[in-house]
């Protein structure tokens, strides 16, 4: 097993050969991947060193101290947090070689084609069809709430390949080229005035069978791995004390004493403590992830993140009174990264409403926590063993 000092030496030796001030950004990132210094817990042939995941901050700190460019992880969160671990776990060696390197370097952005107008919380009820045609699959359907679809080159996609099977069993997982003929992306304008989400129409889109991830009919099992990683990425992100919205509110409190009241002071302290407890819980979750695969605990982290963000944004609006009602910009935007701390309080209040929907609704996450963490009896599901084609829609 590689030691911390040895890992630091590897980074410094790499930097002696690839001066970040003298190399093109893409060239530098490709070389870093090839040296096994991308995600160190991955196999050597796919950007890693088979090292413990807990050593990743050591590598990142060394590169940051040297002023080296990173791979702009916020712009490709779906690719890095969801597509990459799924491809590593379920993909063939050929798929790993094709996709992981340009994904990590940020040369190819990814999005997620899961939810549909009639299959959001009940994802297994989706109706997008994939029909085998020789060496290809022909896909028809509609997806919705697709972040980054307007900027993505690739998508992770679930489609129904066997309507005769029960809804969880007739699904297959694909890697879809977003530039392929038949893929149409349309913006969805949100309550904030932005259009960071999209609806995607798939009309006769041909996907080679070589871009199928996992076995035919096993798409639900593959998708569960994706969703567990997604919830860890959302709720267990790497943060420092007073990072995010609680930091914005705390700074306002310190800088504007005229806003303070005893009642607000008590509530702010409670929110601050809750934010810190959530941050430390996320740190523990990342430590658990370092020694194994993500589990249902990620659902609890994501649930807490959404509830806390909404509580903090509501507190901020109340603290600022009429000033909190001001909205900085209703212009239609197509952001590639959502930064809630860079906009005004009105934006934060509205945008936080989406936190309890995206990445799994809070209601569904409570079911997951109840059944898979607390061991409570599962809800009755009369449609679980019924062929999908016989289900009312």
Domain map (residue ranges) of the chain: 4-104, 110-215, 223-373
| Per-residue pLDDT at 62 | 96
Phi then psi dihedrals of residue 387, to 5 deg: -55, 140
Among all chains, which residue has been given the structure tokens 């060193």?
Answer: 49
pLDDT greater than 70 at residue 290: no
- Summarize the confidence of residues 101-113 as an average pLDDT: 97
Q: Which CATH number describes the domain made up of 4-104?
A: 1.10.540.10
pLDDT greater than 80 at residue 259: yes
pLDDT greater than 90 at residue 332: no
Reported confidence tier of residue 50, pLDDT bands at 50, 70, 90: very high
Q: In the annotation, is 116 catalytic?
A: no
- Summarize the confidence of residues 57-65 as an average pLDDT: 94
pLDDT greater than 60 at residue 207: yes
Mean pLDDT score of the chain: 90
Q: Which CATH number describes the domain made up of 110-215?
A: 2.40.110.10
The 3-class secondary structure across 147-206, one letter per residue, is CCCCCCCEEEEEEECCCCCECCCCEEEEEEECCCCCEEEEEECCCCCECCEEEEEEEEEE
- Class of 223-373 in CATH: mainly alpha
Whole-number percent of the chain with pLDDT over 90: 64
Half-sphere CA count of 192, side-chain side, radius 13 A: 24
Helix (H) or strand (E) holding 130: strand 129-133
Whether the domain at 4-104 and the domain at 223-373 fall into the same CATH topology: no
Tokens, residue 26: 């893409």
65-69, 339-343, 349-353: lowest mean pLDDT where?
A: 339-343
- State whether the Cα torsion 273-276-277-278 is positive or negative: positive
Three-class DSSP category at 346: helix
pLDDT in tens, 298-328: 778 888 889 999 999 999 999 999 888 888 7
- Summarize the confidence of residues 362-367 as an average pLDDT: 86
Reported confidence tier of residue 286, pLDDT bands at 50, 70, 90: low
| Per-residue pLDDT at 231 | 59
pLDDT greater than 70 at residue 176: yes
Distance CA 381, CA 174 (A): 27
pTM: 0.86
Q: Which of 62, 116, 230, 316 is catalytic?
A: 230
| Per-residue pLDDT at 292 | 57
């Amino acid at each position: 097993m590689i030691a911390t000092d040895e890992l630091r030496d590897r980074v410094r030796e790499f930097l002696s050969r690839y001066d970040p001030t003298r190399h093109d950004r893409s060239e530098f990132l490709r070389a870093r991947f090839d040296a096994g210094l991308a995600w160190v817990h991955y196999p050597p042939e796919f950007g890693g060193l088979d090292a413990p995941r807990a050593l990743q901050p050591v590598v990142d700190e060394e590169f940051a101290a040297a002023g080296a460019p990173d791979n702009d992880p916020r712009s490709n969160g779906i690719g890095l947090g969801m597509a990459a671990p799924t491809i590593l776990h379920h993909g063939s060696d050929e798929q790993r070689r094709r996709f992981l390197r340009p994904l990590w370097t940020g040369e190819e952005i990814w999005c997620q084609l899961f939810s549909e107008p009639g299959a959001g919380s009940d994802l297994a009820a989706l109706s997008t069809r994939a029909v085998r045609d020789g060496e290809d699959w022909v896909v028809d359907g509609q997806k919705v709430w697709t972040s980054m679809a307007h900027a993505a080159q690739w998508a992770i996609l679930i489609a129904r390949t066997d309507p005769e099977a029960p809804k969880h069993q007739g699904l297959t997982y694909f890697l879809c080229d977003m530039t392929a003929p038949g893929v149409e992306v349309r913006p969805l304008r949100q309550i904030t005035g932005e259009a960071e989400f999209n609806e995607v129409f798939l009309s006769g889109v041909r996907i080679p069978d070589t871009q199928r991830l996992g076995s035919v009919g096993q798409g639900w099992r593959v998708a569960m791995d994706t969703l567990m990683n997604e919830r860890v990425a959302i709720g267990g992100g790497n943060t420092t004390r007073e990072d995010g919205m609680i930091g914005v509110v705390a700074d306002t409190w310190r800088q504007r004493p005229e806003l303070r009241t005893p009642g607000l002071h008590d509530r702010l302290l409670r929110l601050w403590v809750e934010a810190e407890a959530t941050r430390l819980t996320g740190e523990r979750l990342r430590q658990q992830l370092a020694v194994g695969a993500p589990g249902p605990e990620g659902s609890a982290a994501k649930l807490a993140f959404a509830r806390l963000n909404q509580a903090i944004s509501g507190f901020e609006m109340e603290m600022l009174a009429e000033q909190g009602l001001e909205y900085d910009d209703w212009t239609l935007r197509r952001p590639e990264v959502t930064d809630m701390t860079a906009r005004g309080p009105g934006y934060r209040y509205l945008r936080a409403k989406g936190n309890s929907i995206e990445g799994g609704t809070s209601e569904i996450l409570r079911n997951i926590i109840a059944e898979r963490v607390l061991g409570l009896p599962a809800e009755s599901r009369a449609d679980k063993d019924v062929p999908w084609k016989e289900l009312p829609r």
